[in-house]
C-alpha cells in the first residue's frame, strides 16, 4: 500500500521527454515516515511468523500480479523515466525472475539446518537459522525503478521482513504501483509500503531508530549521507552505488559481438546504467577494427520518445551538465570524438558519443558520466587493460571479450569488481542465483541470490547440550580435565601437514 498523508504537500513526477506532469504525489515528512514504520513493525511480526510456505505462496502470487500488470507498469516506467517501452518491459521481466527466485529459495537458503559440532563439542546439537531483521527501508534510484529496488524488496520480503520503500522522486508512481500490487495480493498487513518525496523523505527513513536495515541504491555521494544517518542508531546498510565499468577487448575477441555488447552496454537506457560500459580497453591488434565496428553501429542509434527510438532522454536534467562537462573536458584535453561531439547534447537528449585519445585522468575516464558516451583506449595486452580498468575508485562490474577461455577468466578474476561478464554484457543480472554488488566507491553488501537473501536476515546459532562432558567451563574443573583436553587438542591440531 502507499501511504496517504494530509498537509505535507505534494510534488509532481514529470515526463523527462515532454516535461508534462505524469502525476502528483504526496511529500511524506518525518511523521508520515514514522507512521509507516510503525505499521511496518506490526506487519513484520505477522509476516515473519507466517512461515516459509505461506510467504512463498503469497510472493509467487505477487509475481503473478506483477506479470499480469506488466503492460501498465512498463507504460508508467516509460512515462516517468523516458526509456523506451521495450526497455521498461525487459526490466520488469528481470524483476519478475528475481521475485520468483527469492520466493522459491528463501526456505532453502535461510531455513533451519543442523551444523556439525566438531570433535571438541560432540555433545552439542547445533542449529543454524536465519531470522528476519524486522523492518527494512529500501531507498531506490530512478534509472531501473522496478528492477533495482526489487533486488532488495523481493529478497527482504522473502526473508520475512516488512519493507518501507522510498522510490526516487523521479519515479514515485512506479513505487506506488508496486506497493499497490503487493497490497492486492497480501491485503492482511502492509508488508510493502511506499513513502514518496525527495531526499528528506529518504533521510527520515535512514535516520529512524525504527528501521532495522537500509538497502540503499543510488550515488556514492548520497550513500555517504545515508550511512552517516544510520551511524546514529548503528543501523546496518547495504549500499549499491555508482560505477565506471570497463569492457576489455582481447586481440582474438569476436569483434562484432564485442562491438554489439559495448554499444548496448554504453548506450542503452541513454547510458544511465550503474553497470553500463563507460570505458573500453582494446588490445592493440584489434583496436582499429573494433573502433570502426563500434563507431558504425553508434552512428545508427537515435534517441527519442517515439516507439522507434533506440533510447530515451536523460531522465535527470542536472545530469546533462555532467555529460556536457565530461565531453567538453575530454575534447579540450586532446581527446577526439569519433562519433558525435560537444553538439551531441541536445537537451533533453544526448546523441551517441564515442571518444578516443582521452587522457586517463580526465573526468570522462575517472568519474561516472551516466550518459550515452564511451571512451575507447588502446592497450598493449589484457594485463594493461586490467590495470587500467582497475585504476578508478569504483568497482561494480565489467566485461571481457576474448577468444581464450583461460585468459578471459584470468582477467575477469583480476578486475576489482563484484561481477564480470565474459563474451556478453551484464549477463549476471539475469541470473537471480548470482550475487550483485560492488567494491570501493561502488558500495558494499550484496543483493540477489543466496547472499542477497542473507543480507536481509540475521544468523541465529543455537546449541543444545545432549550430555555433559568435562568441567572445563566450570569452576569445578580440575587440572586432570584440562590435561585430557590438551591431549586431545594435540592429537587433533598439533600434527604437521604435508602436501
Whole-angstrom distance, CA of residue 226 vs CA of residue 200: 11
Cis status, amide bond into 348, omega within 30 of 0: yes
From CA 198, how far away is CA 176, in angstroms rounded?
15
User: Does residue number 270 form part of the binding site for ligand NAD (CB under 6 A)?
Assistant: no
Answer yes or no whether residue 388 interacts with ligand NAD by CB under 6 A.
no
Which one, of 213, 183, 236, 206, lies nearest residue 43 by Cα?
183
The three three-digit cell numbers of residue 460, written as one number:
541465529
Kindly state whether residue 335 participates in binding ligand NAD, applying the rule CB under 6 A.
no
Residue 222 is a binding residue for ligand NAD (CB under 6 A): yes
For position 243 contacting ligand NAD by CB under 6 A, the verdict is: yes
Q: How far is the CB of 491 from ligand NAD (least distance, A)?
A: 49
Q: Name the closest residue to ligand NAD (Cβ).
A: 202
- Exactly one of 140, 175, 271, 312 binds ligand NAD (CB under 6 A); that residue is 140
Q: Which is nearer to ligand NAD, 87 or 250 (CB)?
A: 87
Taking CB under 6 A as the rule, does residue 217 contact ligand NAD?
yes
Q: List 259's β-bridge partners, or say none.
A: none
CA distance 214 to 234: 11
Min separation Cβ 383 and ligand NAD, Å: 27
- Does position 165 interact with ligand NAD (CB under 6 A)? The reply is no
Told to judge if 274 belongs to the known catalytic residues of this protein, a careful annotator would answer yes
Backbone angles phi, psi at 12, to 5 degrees: -105, 140
Taking the C-alpha atoms of residue 263 and residue 301, their distance in angstroms, rounded to an integer, is 9
- Beta carbon nearer to ligand NAD, 148 or 402: 148
Active site residue 240: yes
Q: Which is the catalytic residue, given 274, 368, 441, 455?
A: 274
Q: Does residue 368 interact with ligand NAD by CB under 6 A?
A: yes
CB of 399 to ligand NAD, least distance (A): 16
Q: Closest CB to ligand NAD among 11 and 52?
A: 11
Nearer to ligand NAD, 262 or 286 (CB): 262
Least distance in angstroms from the C-beta of 59 to ligand NAD: 21
Q: Does 271 bind ligand NAD (CB under 6 A)?
A: no
Please count the other Cβ atoms lying within 10 Å of the Cβ belonging to residue 11. Answer: 15
Apex 199 CA angle, 436 and 134, nearest 5: 55
DSSP 234-286: T--EEEE-----EEEE-TTS-HHHHHHHHHHHHHGGGG--TT---EEEEEHHH
Check: CB of residue 293 under 8 Å from CB of residue 259.
Answer: yes
Please answer whether residues 280 and 377 qualify as being in contact, where contact means their C-beta atoms are separated by less than 8 angstroms: yes
**Contacting ligand NAD (CB under 6 A), which of 16, 48, 190, 218?**
218
Stretch that binds ligand NAD, among 21-29, 211-219, 252-260, 462-470 (CB under 6 A): 211-219
Distance CA 481, CA 473 (A): 10
By annotation, the residues acting in catalysis are: 240, 274
Chain residues in the site for ligand NAD (CB under 6 A): 139-144, 148, 166, 168-169, 198-199, 202-203, 206, 217-219, 222, 225-226, 240-243, 274, 316, 368, 396, 438, 443
Amino acid at each position: 500500500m502507499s501511504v496517504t498523508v494530509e498537509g505535507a504537500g505534494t510534488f509532481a513526477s514529470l515526463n523527462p521527454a515532454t516535461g508534462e506532469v505524469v502525476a502528483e504525489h504526496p511529500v511524506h515528512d518525518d511523521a508520515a515516515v514514522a507512521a509507516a514504520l510503525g505499521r511496518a513493525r506490526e506487519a513484520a511480526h505477522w509476516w515473519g511468523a507466517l512461515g516459509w510456505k505461506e510467504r512463498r505462496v503469497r510472493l509467487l502470487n505477487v509475481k503473478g500480479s506483477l506479470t499480469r500488470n506488466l503492460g501498465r507498469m512498463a507504460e508508467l516506467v516509460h512515462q516517468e523515466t523516458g526509456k523506451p517501452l521495450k526497455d521498461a518491459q525487459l526490466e520488469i521481466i528481470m524483476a519478475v525472475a528475481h521475485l520468483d527466485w527469492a520466493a522459491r529459495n528463501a526456505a532453502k537458503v535461510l531455513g533451519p539446518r543442523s551444523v556439525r559440532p566438531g570433535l571438541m563439542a560432540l555433545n552439542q546439537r547445533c542449529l543454524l537459522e536465519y531470522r528476519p531483521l524486522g523492518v527494512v527501508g529500501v531507498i531506490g534510484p530512478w534509472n531501473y525503478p522496478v528492477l533495482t529496488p526489487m533486488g532488495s524488496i523481493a529478497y527482504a520480503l522473502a526473508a520475512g521482513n516488512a519493507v518501507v520503500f522510498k522510490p526516487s522522486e523521479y519515479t514515485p508512481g512506479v513505487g506506488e504501483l508496486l506497493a499497490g500490487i503487493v497490497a492486492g495480493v497480501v491485503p492482511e498487513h502492509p508488508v510493502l509500503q511506499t513513502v514518496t518525496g525527495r531526499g528528506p523523505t529518504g533521510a527520515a527513513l535512514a535516520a529512524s531508530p525504527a528501521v532495522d536495515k537500509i538497502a540503499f541504491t543510488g550515488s556514492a555521494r548520497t550513500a555517504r549521507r545515508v550511512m552517516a544517518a544510520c551511524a546514529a542508531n548503528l543501523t546496518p546498510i547495504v549500499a549499491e552505488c555508482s560505477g565506471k565499468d570497463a569492457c576489455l577487448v582481447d586481440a582474438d575477441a569476436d569483434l562484432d559481438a564485442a562491438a554489439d555488447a559495448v554499444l548496448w552496454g554504453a548506450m542503452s537506457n541513454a547510458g544511465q546504467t550503474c553497470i553500463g560500459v563507460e570505458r573500453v580497453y582494446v588490445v592493440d591488434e584489434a583496436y582499429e577494427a573494433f573502433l570502426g565496428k563500434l563507431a558504425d553501429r553508434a552512428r545508427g542509434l537515435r534517441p527519442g520518445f517515439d516507439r522507434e527510438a533506440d533510447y530515451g532522454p536523460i531522465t535527470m536534467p542536472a545530469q546533462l551538465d555532467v555529460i556536457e562537462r565530461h565531453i567538453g573536458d575530454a575534447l579540450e584535453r586532446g581527446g577526439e570524438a569519433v562519433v558525435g561531439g560537444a553538439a551531441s547534447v541536445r537537451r533533453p537528449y544526448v546523441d551517441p558519443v564515442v571518444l578516443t585519445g582521452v587522457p586517463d585522468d580526465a573526468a570522462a575516464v575517472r568519474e561516472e558520466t551516466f550518459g550515452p558516451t564511451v571512451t575507447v583506449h588502446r592497450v598493449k595486452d589484457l594485463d594493461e587493460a586490467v590495470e587500467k580498468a582497475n585504476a578508478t575508485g569504483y568497482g561494480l562490474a565489467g566485461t571481457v571479450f576474448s577468444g581464450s577461455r583461460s585468459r578471459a577468466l584470468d582477467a575477469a578474476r583480476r578486475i576489482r569488481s563484484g561481477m564480470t561478464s565474459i563474451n556478453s554484457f551484464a549477463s549476471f543480472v539475469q541470473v537471480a542465483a548470482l550475487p550483485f554488488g560492488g567494491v570501493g566507491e561502488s558500495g558494499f553488501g550484496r543483493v540477489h541470490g543466496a547472499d542477497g537473501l542473507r543480507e536481509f536476515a540475521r544468523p541465529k546459532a543455537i546449541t543444545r547440550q545432549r550430555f555433559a562432558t568435562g568441567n572445563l567451563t566450570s569452576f569445578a574443573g580440575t587440572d586432570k580435565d584440562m590435561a585430557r583436553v590438551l591431549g586431545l587438542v594435540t592429537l587433533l591440531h598439533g600434527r604437521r601437514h604435508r602436501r
